[in-house]
Amino acid sequence: MFKKLAASPLFIAVILAVVLLLWLLSGDKFRARQAAPAEQQAPTAQLALVETRWSEAEPYQLTRVAQGQLLPWRSVSIKSQQAGTVTAILKQQGDSVQQGDKLLQLSDEGRSALLAQAKANLSLKQSELASARTLSQSKFLSDTELSRLQSELARAEAELESARLALMQTTPVAPFHGVVDRRHIEVGDVVQTGTELMQLVQIEQLKVTAQIPQQHVAALTPGQQVNVQLLDGRTLSGELSFISYAADIATRSFYIEVTVANPERLRLAGGSATVSVELTPVQAHLVSPALLSLDNHGKLGIAVVDEQQQVVFYPVDILTADNDGARVSGLPARAQIITQGAGFVKPGDTVRVAEAKR
C-alpha cells in the first residue's frame, strides 16, 4: 500500500512543495542574519504656520490731559497799613481801576500835623548845620559838634519820610490795573493795621494751573499750544507758560501754568477746566489689544515677522486705547504683525506665513 502511495505523482508533488518551502524560509532567515535592516527616514520637520497682516504707521496727534483750575492773572488782597476810620470809599465792587488809582480814604488821625512838624524840624536842622559849617571853617566849632548836627539832620529827614509815608498810606492805591472784586469794609468802619479792605483781580488774561504726571512731563515744552475746555463745553486756546522744575513730593506730579487770553473779561476765574496739551505728532499703529503680549522680562510688545521670515518681538508703548483699538508706538513704519499663532512661536523662529483673512 505504502509503495503504491509513494509511487503516486500527487504524493511526490506534495513532498517537493514542502522541501521547496523549507528552503525558501531558511534563505530569508539567513539573509536577515547577514544584512542589517534598512535605515528608516526621519520625518521632515514642518515650520510653524502663522497668520499675519501688514500695518502701516500713521501720524497721530498725541495729547496729555489733566484737570486744572482757572485763576486770575493777578489777585491781591489790599490790606490796611495804618489804623483809622474809613471816611470814604472811592472804588466800588466791579469798578475797573488803573495802577495808582485811589481806592478809599482813612481818617487823618493827626498824621498831617506830624508831617508839618517833621518838615519844620528838618528845616531847623538844615539851618543849624549850615551855621555850624561856617563856624567850623573859622575853627570856632569842633568836629564832634559838627558830626552831631549832621546826625540830627539825618534823623529829621527820616522822620519826615516816615510822616509822609504814614499820611500816604491812609489812601490805599491799586498796585496794578484790574477790577475790584470784593469790598470788605464800609464807611465808618474802624480798621487796624493788616485789616483786609478790598480784593483786586486782573482778568484780561487768565492763568490755568494743573498737575502733570512725572512720566509725561518730559514731552512738555513752554510755548506749546493748549486747549482749555470749560465745564459748559466752551473751549479756550492758551499757551503753556511754565513747568515746575521739581515734582510735588506727595503726588510725584509737576505743576504747570497755561496763559489764556480773556479780553472780554468773562467770569471764568475760579472755575475748573480740562487742560489738553498737544504734543509733537508721532508715528503710531492701530492694532487690536489682543495682539499685545509680554516677553520674558515683562515688557509689553507685539510679535512681527521680518524680511527673513523670522519672528521679532518689538516692545511698544500704548498711546491711546478706545473702541477702535489701541494706538501704539515702537514698531517699524511698515510691520507684518502676527495675528494668529504668536503664542506657539518665539523670537528668532523661522515661520511660514499665511495672509490673515479680512
**Residue 326 or 3, more confident:** 326
Whether 315 contacts 301, CB under 8 Å:
yes
Please tell me what DSSP assigns to residue 250: T
Position 132 scores a pLDDT of: 74
Task: Using pLDDT thresholds of 50, 70 and 90, give the confidence band for residue 2.
Answer: very low
Integer Cα distance of 62 and 276 in angstroms: 10
Q: CA angle 120-123-124, nearest 5°?
A: 90
Q: If we measure between CA atoms, which residue out of 110, 114, 111 comes closest to residue 122?
A: 114
Integer Cα distance of 1 and 11 in angstroms: 13
Query: pLDDT by residue (tens digit) across 120-132?
Result: 999 988 888 887 7
Cell 478706545 belongs to residue: 322
Position 96 scores a pLDDT of: 94
Question: Which residues partner with 312 through β-bridges?
Answer: 304
Query: pLDDT by residue (tens digit) across 319-358?
Result: 888 888 999 999 999 999 999 988 888 899 999 988 876 6
HSE of 197 in the Cβ direction (CA atoms, 13 Å)? 34
Query: pLDDT by residue (tens digit) across 226-281?
Result: 999 998 888 999 999 999 999 999 989 999 999 999 988 989 998 999 999 877 78
Query: pLDDT by residue (tens digit) across 75-97?
Result: 999 999 999 999 999 999 999 99
Neighbours of 254 (CB within 10 A): 20
CATH of domain 50-59+282-355: 2.40.420.20
Position 52 scores a pLDDT of: 92
Q: If we measure between CA atoms, which residue out of 250, 335, 255 comes closest to residue 301?
A: 335
Pick the range with the lowest mean pLDDT from 5-14, 67-76, 85-94, 165-174.
5-14
Position 20 scores a pLDDT of: 66
Q: Does the 110-169 domain belong in CATH 1.10.287?
A: yes
Q: If we measure between CA atoms, which residue out of 235, 241, 207, 244 comes closest to residue 69?
A: 207
The amino acid present at 109, given as its one-letter code, is: E
**Residue 8 or 289, more confident:** 289
* Three-class DSSP category at 265: coil
**CATH superfamily, with its number, for domain 64-71+199-278:** Efflux pump adaptor protein, beta barrel domain (2.40.30.170)
Position 81 scores a pLDDT of: 94
The whole model's pTM is what? 0.63
Neighbours of 72 (CB within 10 A): 22
Query: pLDDT by residue (tens digit) across 28-79?
Result: 554 545 555 555 554 545 788 899 999 999 998 888 888 999 999 999 999 9
Whether 206 contacts 184, CB under 8 Å:
no
Helix (H) or strand (E) holding 167, with range, is helix 143-168
Would you state the cell numbers that stand for residue 214, as one nine-digit string? 512725572
For residue 145, CA distances in Å to 17, 133, 150, 240 come to 165, 10, 9, 64
Would you state the cell numbers that stand for residue 256, as one nine-digit string? 504747570
Task: Using pLDDT thresholds of 50, 70 and 90, give the confidence band for residue 21.
Answer: low
* Three-class DSSP category at 188: coil
Q: What are phi and psi of 293, to 5 degrees?
A: -150, 170
Query: pLDDT by residue (tens digit) across 185-223?
Result: 999 999 999 999 999 999 999 999 999 988 888 888 899
